[in-house]
Amino acid sequence: MSNDLASLPPIEAPSLRKRVASVGRYIAGIRADRASGRPGQRRWMHVAAHAFLLLMVAITLYPLLWVTTIAFSGSQSLAIVDLPEHATRWDRVRAVIPWPSTWSSQNFVSVLSDQPFGKWLFNSFLVSFGATILGLGIACSAAYAFSRLTFPGRRVGMLSFLVSQMFPGTLMMIPLYIVLVQWLNLGSSRLGLILAYATTSVPFSVWMLKGYFDTIPKDLEEAALIEGATTGQIFFRVILPLAKPALAVTALFSFMSAWNEFILAATFMNEEGMYTAPVGLRFFVGGFSQQWGYFAAGALITALPVTILFLFLQRYLVSGLTAGSVKG
């Protein structure tokens, strides 16, 4: 999902000053016909706001609490409690409240020991890690060239990266399958998935890093040049150390998008031992399999780290959106 951000068209900075002026003129024409901001009205507004927010919080949290309940219920059933034959209304209400009838960590223990889920997590980790390292390495050197060096094809190259974000996934998947599985013989292999994820993350990373490299003042490099440094030395000794924060954020984003990727992995990883965590989770509850307990426990294990990571990172994502936009 985050990969699509590179295709975001620049947001033009609102010419606020002009708008202030026009709004001022507009408002000046309006007669002040009633006093506003009475304390009583304010209090009502706050109460209504909290009511609305609490409703939305309930809607937001319910599915998450539900999956947590199933995970700790210790059984494979979708139902929170087993309903008797003639359920009363109270029984049904109980069945909706996200609180397990008995607390048990059984699902977590068995999903990691009896089921091959640990192996799938390991696959996911290896693939995401490999793809991040490879993709980031490729992206930083390209972003550096695009940011600092001039050469024929620079504009075309950047544009082609942008356009590649519009290629529909299904159109790419068949030929990608032919290239990776039939030509390179990398079907059901972690390396194949690493290559696919690394290259698909490159355009987003390049755009993101180039944006950051552009903000690094050129004086430092010029000083280094005078000292007789080569392009390589400037890249490794000056630019990369300065860009550490951007590198970290970009790396985390590409790790997360690889960790959360589902379709490619589902299509390319046919052997059960080679599944990644998303494919494995779907395996628990897809088709005729109904192992909701394993799914819920596995989903918590898989999603918790990236969810927390995302909460910390979304600031950068949003500021990246707006920063890129203001520069235009």
Partner 1 sequence: MSTGTAQRPVIRAIVGSLLAGALALGVAHALLGRAFENLATDTDDRSGIVALNALTAVVQSPQSSDDTLRRTVQGWQTRTSGITASRIVRIAGAELLASTAAHDSVEAEAPRRLERDEKPLFDMAQRLRSAVNLNRDEGAPRKNEIEVESLPKGGRSFSGPFVEDGEISGLVQVQSIDTAVPRRPSWWITLGLILMVVGCAVVPAFVFRRRSRVATWGAVGAGAIGLIAALTLHGSFATKALMEAQAQGDAAIAARARSQADAVSAVIPGDVATEDSLAPGAWDTDVYRRSRGRLTADATILPAPPMPSVFGKSLFLLFAFALVLLATTVLGGFHALGRALRDNRVAYAYILPAIVGMALLVYFPFVYGVVLSFTDSTLYNANQGVAETWIGLRNYADIIFDFNVFSHGDNGWVVNYSNFYWTLFFTIVWTITNVTIGVTVGLALALVLNIKNLWFKPLYRVVLILPWAVPNYITALVWKGMFHRQFGVINQVLEIFGRQPISWFDNPLSSFATALATNGWLSFPFMMVVSMGALQSIPEELYEAAEVDGASWRQRFFAITLPALRPALVPAIILSVIWTFNMFNVIYLVTGGEPSGATEILVTQAYKFAFERYRYGYAAAYSTIIFMILLVYGIFQNRVSRATEA
Positions in 268-287 near partner 1 (CB under 8 A): 278, 281-282, 285
Using CB under 8 A as the binding rule, the residues of this chain from 122 to 181 that contact partner 1 are: 137-139, 141-142, 144-146, 149-152, 154, 157, 160-161, 164, 166-176, 178-180
Residue with token string 């696919």: 196
Out of 52, 99, 103, 236, point to the residue binding partner 1 (CB under 8 A): 52
Which residue's CB is nearer to partner 1, number 110 or number 267? 267
Site size toward partner 1 (CB under 8 A) is 118
Crossing angle (nearest 10°) for helices 117-148 and 244-259: 140
Task: Please report how many Cα atoms fall inside a 13 Å half-sphere around the Cα of residue 312, on the Cβ side.
Answer: 10
Q: Which amino acid is at 30?
A: I
Residue with token string 């059960």: 272
> What is residue 123's three-state secondary structure?
helix
Q: Which amino acid is at 316?
A: Y
Residue with token string 């426990």: 297
**Hey, what's the torsion of the CAs at 275, 277, 282, 285, to 10 degrees?**
110
Out of 27, 113, 217, 219, point to the residue binding partner 1 (CB under 8 A): 27
Residue by residue, DSSP assigns 63-118 as HHHHHHHHHHSSSS-SSSSPPPSS--HHHHHHHHSS--SS---HHHHHHHHTSTHH
Residue span binding partner 1 (CB under 8 A) among the ranges 3-11, 99-107, 121-129, 208-216: 3-11
Number of CB atoms found within 10 A of residue 65's CB: 14
Using CB under 8 A as the binding rule, the residues of this chain from 229 to 268 that contact partner 1 are: 231, 235, 259-260, 262-263, 267
Which residue's CB is nearer to partner 1, number 248 or number 321? 321
CB of 96 to partner 1, least distance (A): 5
CB of 100 to partner 1, least distance (A): 13
Out of 50, 102, 105, 233, point to the residue binding partner 1 (CB under 8 A): 50
Which residue's CB is nearer to partner 1, number 103 or number 312? 312
The answer to whether 105 touches 296, Cβ cutoff 8 Å, is no
Q: Residue 99, interface with partner 1 (CB under 8 A)?
A: no
Which residue's CB is nearer to partner 1, number 123 or number 302? 302
Q: Give the C-alpha separation, 276 to 265, whole Å.
A: 7
Out of 43, 79, 109, 327, point to the residue binding partner 1 (CB under 8 A): 79
Q: Give the C-alpha separation, 275 to 116, whole Å.
A: 9
Q: Residue 34, interface with partner 1 (CB under 8 A)?
A: yes
Which residue's CB is nearer to partner 1, number 20 or number 248? 20
Of 99, 38, 20, 2, the closest CA to residue 306 belongs to 2
CB of 66 to partner 1, least distance (A): 6
Which residue's CB is nearer to partner 1, number 96 or number 109? 96
Out of 193, 198, 249, 297, point to the residue binding partner 1 (CB under 8 A): 198
Q: Residue 89, interface with partner 1 (CB under 8 A)?
A: yes
Which residue's CB is nearer to partner 1, number 92 or number 327? 92
Q: What angle do CA 264, 201, 309 make, to 5 degrees?
A: 90
Q: Residue 226, interface with partner 1 (CB under 8 A)?
A: no
Q: Residue 224, interface with partner 1 (CB under 8 A)?
A: no
Q: Residue 101, interface with partner 1 (CB under 8 A)?
A: no
